Amino acid sequence: MGEHTAPKFPQEIIDEYAALGVDLPALFSAGHLGERMGVTIVEASADRVVGTMPVEGNTQPYGLLHGGASAVLAETLGSIGSMLHGGVTKLAVGVDLNCTHHRGVRSGLVTGVATPVHRGRSTATYEIAITDEQDKRVCTARLTCMLRDAPRPDAA
């Protein structure tokens, strides 16, 4: 379900993680749940994260896009933005997610765009706008992540 493509990163981000031997597309992928739901990361930076998800396979019993599926897309995109903001020394952990569902969608692909509302030292908040193929707003979400210190590798 859903073709997996490598997200686009700014060169300075690629260089920063490559120096640590980190595979960015794997690290900032949609994860197991996102992959199961067909989430694809199209673009990723601390300023903007874009991803898509098919409606098919992610519906509730009435045949509409499931609100929980929109929440998965929103949290995935906002978390990636938060991780990129925090950099290699931080881990982003979601602490608050809210979603307002504006309209139903029965088919096609939805696109989420996450942009920062606040980027601090200990928290990051992103607004995620999810639209249908006609560019109509399906859902508006806001995610706040706590930025925790990443575990340090043991000194050799």
pLDDT digits (tens, 9 = 90+) for 87-108: 988 889 999 999 999 999 999 9
pLDDT score of 33: 85
Domain hosting 22: range is 11-149
pLDDT score of 79: 93
Give the mean pLDDT of 104-118: 98
Q: Is 105 exposed, middle or buried (0-12, 13-18, 19+ CB in 10 A)?
A: buried
pLDDT score of 12: 74
Q: For residues 23 and 14, what is the distance between their CA atoms, to the nearest angstrom?
A: 9
One-letter amino acid for residue 144 of the chain: T
Catalytic residue among 3, 75, 127, 133: 75
Q: Are 75 and 94 in contact (CB under 8 A)?
A: yes
The verdict on whether 3 is a catalytic residue reads no
Better-scored residue on pLDDT, 149 or 17:
149
Partners of residue 117 on adjacent β-strands? none
Query: pTM here?
Result: 0.86
Domains in the chain, number: 1
Q: Answer positive or negative: Cα dihedral of 89, 35, 74, 71.
A: negative
pLDDT score of 2: 45
SS (H, E, C) 65-128: ECHHHHHHHHHHHHHHHHHHHHCCCEEEEEEEEEEEECCCCCCCEEEEEEEEEEECCCEEEEEE
CATH of residue 110: 3.10.129.10
The secondary structure element, H or E, covering residue 53 is strand 48-54
Whether 60 is covered by a domain: the verdict is yes
pLDDT score of 122: 97
State what percent of residues in the chain have pLDDT above 70: 83
Between 21-30, 31-40, 68-77, 111-120, the lowest mean confidence (pLDDT) is in 21-30
Whether 156 is covered by a domain: the verdict is no
